[in-house]
Amino acid sequence: MKSFFPYDSVELSANGREVVILDQTQLPNQERFLHLITAEQIFYAITRLKVRGAPAIGIAAAFGLAMCVNRYRTRSLQALEKEFLRVKHYLYISRPTAVNLMWALDRMERCFYATKLGLENADEKHAIEVIRNSLTAEARAIKAEDVRMCEVISEYGFSLLHPGCGILTHCNAGHLAVSRFGTALGPIYQAQQQGYSPRVFCDETRPLLQGARLTAYELTKAGIMAATLMAQRKIDFVYVGCDRVAANGDVANKIGTCGVAILAKYYKVPLYVFAPTSTVDLDCASGDEIVIEERPAFEVTDMYYSKPMAPKGIKVYNPAFDITPASLIAGIVTEKGIIKPREIKNIKKNR
């Protein structure tokens, strides 16, 4: 599958000592890349949505953890382990809803201790170097696997479409939100490459106007028509991404997704959720257990406006996500196929 972008939204430098991200808060007006070299910069980039999208956040956190270990100067394996755990726990709390973040960091921890276990008789200098190399390789593997998963997810999603179809998407689940290609937008790019000429409608979305700024930006780059309103009888499918899938098939996605799902159900338009299996949280029984992140008020009242667009001091309720019940979802599209929400609990995950 061909990418319409000459770059990825998150990358690890060749020497493993910098995490390079496209600053998504500057889009669509400026394509600005940030070179991050500290745990604090990674944390800030994640919390302020400079890098965003559940898979991309997980990749950024894994890259950040590897980068911090590579930059940490020590001759003590014990000191390296202490620093590794400090950074891991620090990044763990940067955003609460997207399970990919915790999944990737836990996978990096398993790599650290599996590598350490095999170095019990090695001298510390050698052991430190081997651990650094292992963590860097593991972080790159997390991204490479996500690229492959997105390609497969795109194929499954594309199989549902037909030439000239109308698709509504909510928030941004494209190239910017993952390693490459996208989840919900991946099938749309595939359709465009196959000459289907899909008509795409992208909802406006909090936080940070991600529909107009990011999805419309991506679709325009790909040469696909984008609009901001859903027109009656012009939508054949609703394609959305998500940040966590519970064991019963409930999903957490950008605020407003549940409302779209209710409308889609009423008008008999199938809604599909696109997610790699790293986004499935089998330890979470239902959407009731998912912690919903609340964003600061200024993102609604001031950010991207030349003047405040609400009265000074007004109270703002700004949840970043809502929960869409499994009953409103036609299917969850993963790299393992199109799965009925009630069957998601049976999915086999590599842990």
CA-to-CA separations, 210 to 150, 159, 174, 245, in angstroms, rounded: 20, 27, 11, 21
Measure the CA–CA gap between 84 and 320, rounded to whole angstroms: 29
> Cα–Cα distance between 227 and 204 in angstroms, integer?
10
Q: From 216, 212, 207, 163, select the one nearest 316 (Cα to Cα).
A: 207
In angstroms, the first-to-last Cα distance of the chain is 27
Query: Hey, is 247 helix, strand or coil?
Result: coil
The values of phi and psi at residue 2, to 5°, are -85, 140
Active site residue 288: no
**DSSP-derived 3-state class of residue 202:** strand
Residue 269's contacts (CB-CB under 8 Å, 6 or more residues apart) are: 168, 235, 236, 237, 238, 263
Catalytic residue among 243, 250, 281, 322: 243
Q: Looking at the annotation, which residues are catalytic? A: 243
